[in-house]
Amino acid sequence: MLLNENELLNACEWLVQNAGPSIKYRTLTEILGLDVNDSIVQETYKEILNSKRLKFISSRQKENGCFGEKSFHHGTDSGETYLRELFEMGVSPKHEVLHKGIEYAKVLHITKPESTSWITAVYLESIGRAGKSQLVLDWYREYSERFSLLYKNHREDWLIVKNGKPATYYLEIPFMYVIRTISNSWWWLKEYDDSSVAAILDFLLNDMAEVKDLYWIAPNRQLFAYSNFLHLIASNSIFLRQPSVIDFIMSLEGLWLLAQFGIIEEYLNLKNAFSFISSRKNDDGLWEFPIDGVTKTKSSWHSYHGFSLEENWRKKESSIAELTFRVCLISERNRKSRGIKRKK
């Protein structure tokens, strides 16, 4: 199901030789486990620091640490998008641009105390990826306690979404930003408690997988963040119908985030989804997109999705490097992560 050692090493060798600096750096450190002080790792990191993309993102940052001209959560030219991209590029949280962006996110979280909202979780995602954070821990404890209570009393309400019928407490459903925040903080958050996470994942991957109409969970309110993010893989509809480019890219992100919990092989729907993607291996032991129309523009970074780390997508090798890296990363991260402990 997951990649064997020979498959992984063959693909990583190709990535190190052919991919751009961000994929090469993350392959060396996150998959092959090289130390950041290794000479080849440091040389590759210098290439990231000198990249045109990092210089552009730096030019969009203001003195107070925010980015762009609009709100933190708003499309491609926003703090949320640029922080996500910086992390994905492999930029260190200690780097001045990323550090200032994270500090600005902390200010936003403190000055916007509505910690029950998904917008706050946007800020927390960046904070949690940078290191252990009391802000994230406090939010997680509050959210998990509230989820457990609402799940006990309103689970059936959450599942009633047919014909536009509103669901009770729809903002409390653990959708995209909740999962991103917990997953990207799981490397240290798991030290505290994971029974609530087990319940959240079971709800999303079992209960809600059977719900058909997830776009409209309240009148004129699109639950985009769940329906496109996890439902395609939870319901296995990603390979039961022809997915769009965005569907496919968001499904890959969903698998990556879930792999950080080490649960890909614990759920049949996740095993099927990963098998669908990993089966697209070519004769060279690399992976190619199973759908047409995947371009750098369509895979560019956005509040809800993003994929592109290679600068030059005119070469076929660029899209192969993107998908091969993601397949290897999902497989290796899941292997290294322990599963979720469940209450007996």
Instruction: List pLDDT tens digits, range 195-228.
Output: 788 888 888 888 877 766 554 444 444 444 444 5
Give the 3-state DSSP-derived string for 155-214, with helices as H, strands as E and coil as C: HHHHCCCHHHCCCCCHHHCCCHHHHHHHHHHHHHHCCCCCHHHHHHHHHHHHHHHHCCCC
| pLDDT, the chain, mean | 82
The pTM of this model reads: 0.88
Averaged pLDDT for residues 137-147:
87
| Tokens 């319901």 found at | 235
What separation in angstroms does the CA of 121 have from each of 135, 140, 309?
11, 10, 24
Share of the chain above pLDDT 70, in %: 79
Among 44-48, 72-76, 223-227, 310-314, the range scoring the smallest mean pLDDT is 223-227
Strand partners, 222: 216
70-97: string of b/e by CB count within 10 Å (b at 16+)?
eebbeeeebbbbbbbbbbbbbbeeebeb
Q: What is the pLDDT of residue 240?
A: 60
Q: Which two tokens stand for residue 204?
A: 């999303």
Helix axes 118-130, 79-89, angle to 10 degrees: 30
Does residue 261 register a pLDDT over 90? yes
Helices (H), the chain: 5-18, 21-26, 39-49, 52-59, 79-89, 96-111, 118-130, 134-158, 176-189, 195-202, 224-227, 231-234, 245-259, 268-278, 316-336
Q: What is the pLDDT of residue 62?
A: 93
Q: What are the extents of the domains in the chain?
A: 1-20+228-344, 132-222
Distance CA 139, CA 191 (A): 15
DSSP 30: I
**Between residues 321 and 216, which one has the greater pLDDT?**
321
